[in-house]
Amino acid sequence: MCGIIGIVSKNLFSSEDLLRALKRLEYRGYDSFGYATNSGILEKDIGEIRLLSSNECTTAIGHTRWATHGGVTKLNAHPHADCKNEIFIVHNGIIENYLELKEKLRGHVFRSETDSEVIAHYLEEKLKTKPMREAIIDFINEAEGTFAVVVLQKSGQQLYAFKRDSPLVLGLAGDANIFASDIYAFSDKTNKAVFFEDDEFAEVSDSSYAFYNKSGNMLDKKIYEFEWKEEESEMKFDHYMLKEIYEQPAVAERLINSLRTVQADKLENLVSLIKNSRRIIFIAVGTSYHASLLGVYFLHKAGVEAQTIIASEFKDYANVDENTLVIAITQSGETMDLIDAVKHAKRKGAKIASLVNVPYSTVQRLSDLSLQIEAGQEICVAATKSFMNQVILLLSLAREFGYDVNPEKISEVMRSVFGKEEKIKSIARSLSASKDLYIIGRGLSYPVSREIALKLKEISYVHAEGMMGGELKHGTLALIEEGTPVIALINGNPHIISNAMEVKARGGRIIAVTNQKNLSVAKDLIEIDADNDAAFAIAAIIAGQLLTYYIAKEKDLPIDKPRNLAKSVTVK
């Protein structure tokens, strides 16, 4: 979850330079931050990344934290140091046997509550009798859990880094080499990267680098040249979430064009894999899981049997073999639950395809075939444009099997929803004091109800439940009382209107998101222009995103950085 960076340069760089790179990783965690330099400066604090003092160096490490072990305090912030403040480390992951390792380090003074600090003291102890390279090998072989670690020694002109499961990449930037949690940290400096695999470590100076396996044998690593689309439009919005909502038509058009041109062969190959597989299983988490539910719906309508399983439960609910195609859907490509599920499927002999936003991410590198969703960088923790492009890619895939929809008209549908913004703002104001909110849908709109509910929870801090309209009477109706708000997604299914009437009969307040004319079940209407199920789903999603945004804004919440959350979940 955390963001880590390490820079070793031929030229002096400032603390401002380091923090700019670290700021690009802040979506991975923003509880606290810190940095250390090879001159021995160690500074850290709680809260968002900001300049603490101005200085220059040639070698430094930095960290932005999402708390796991230990509360959000200055002492628990990274980097962590050894007893003498001569070894500094930054860490992303969880050391599961840190108490056992700590027990062996008697006499060392620990300052924090974290599992991470044990790494600095472990290396300090080993360096009494061994060089750094051997100390790292010992740690890799003894540590249990997940880790991406960058190590800095006071007065040193080198950095060391090693990883297991947590993401780590080396950027080659000419006069500097840069370790980071992902390529976005240095994508403004270089498009050349070397990716770590599990249980590898590297030793890097300003002009050279070497990779090793956990036995100490040198590795020959491939240099990747990546393309990464950063949205450079002027920030004329109050929050990145709204900016990214408004970018959705443009990035949708970019994806559709890509599927017609540079990714056409990959799409054709995915179609072939599906046709030649006995079983099709999507795996995803969070927002991407809701996209996968829509994908299953699209494919079923086209006559293709598929199912989807949340990645964290995959091992217990899926049978896979060599005749299975597993399709992983992910924004970051680094979600730990998803990576575990993909590795499990590969061990069982399944073929792996993936739909990924971040190029050369772990999930993409584990896949036999991967398509880019082309959403570009998302700054807000909430997935908006990445979710939308996942849905559009799945829609385009289903079209290859005969699903009757034209993806090229989707951007027009999206833009039409923006014309309803004032109405959505008005409804948001009336809902801002609500503690509970229910969203009901049927068929295609059921996954949409789940997605809108998730957005309301994570951004607006509203207890929201998205559910099948038919399930309302099997328990949840007991919670409906006078004034309880219920959003009904109404797109021609008469049963969802009946469900809404059941709510209304018990005093509930119906807010309809609908493409139906002359609808009398609700006084509060968000009317959208959509002439088919897929278009309705996409328009309703954007309406839900805007509603979420304006409720959160009315409550003056930290929209782009909601409490307790991070965008890339790299722990179990």
In the DSSP assignment, the letter for residue 15 is H
Helix, strand, coil percentages (3-state) for the chain, rounded to 5, are 35, 25, 40
Quick check: helix, strand or coil at residue 552? helix
> What's the token pair of residue 365?
């590198």
User: Is the CB of residue 208 less than 8 Å from the CB of residue 12?
Assistant: no
Amino acid sitting at position 517? K
Active site residues: 2, 567
Residue with tokens 């006499």: 107
User: Is the CB of residue 445 less than 8 Å from the CB of residue 536?
Assistant: yes
Number of neighbours of residue 9 by Cβ within 10 angstroms: 20
Among candidate residues 305, 251, 295, the one with its CA nearest the CA of residue 275:
305
Report d(CA 456, CA 448) in Å as an integer: 12
User: Is the CB of residue 403 less than 8 Å from the CB of residue 391?
Assistant: no
Quick check: helix, strand or coil at residue 128? coil
Report d(CA 246, CA 420) in Å as an integer: 13
User: Is the CB of residue 63 less than 8 Å from the CB of residue 78?
Assistant: yes
Report d(CA 112, CA 284) in Å as an integer: 35
Q: Quick one: which H or E segment has residue 116?
A: none
Sorted by sequence, the CB contacts under 8 Å of residue 55 that are 6+ apart come out as 14, 15, 37, 39, 41
Quick check: helix, strand or coil at residue 218? strand
Report d(CA 77, CA 393) in Å as an integer: 40
Sorted by sequence, the CB contacts under 8 Å of residue 517 that are 6+ apart come out as none
Q: Quick one: which H or E segment has residue 498?
A: helix 494-505
Report d(CA 392, CA 386) in Å as an integer: 10
User: Is the CB of residue 417 less than 8 Å from the CB of residue 317?
Assistant: no
Among candidate residues 275, 317, 263, the one with its CA nearest the CA of residue 299:
275
Report d(CA 225, CA 298) in Å as an integer: 35
Report d(CA 486, CA 479) in Å as an integer: 11
CA angle 136, 28, 335 (to 5 degrees): 75
Report d(CA 215, CA 222) in Å as an integer: 20
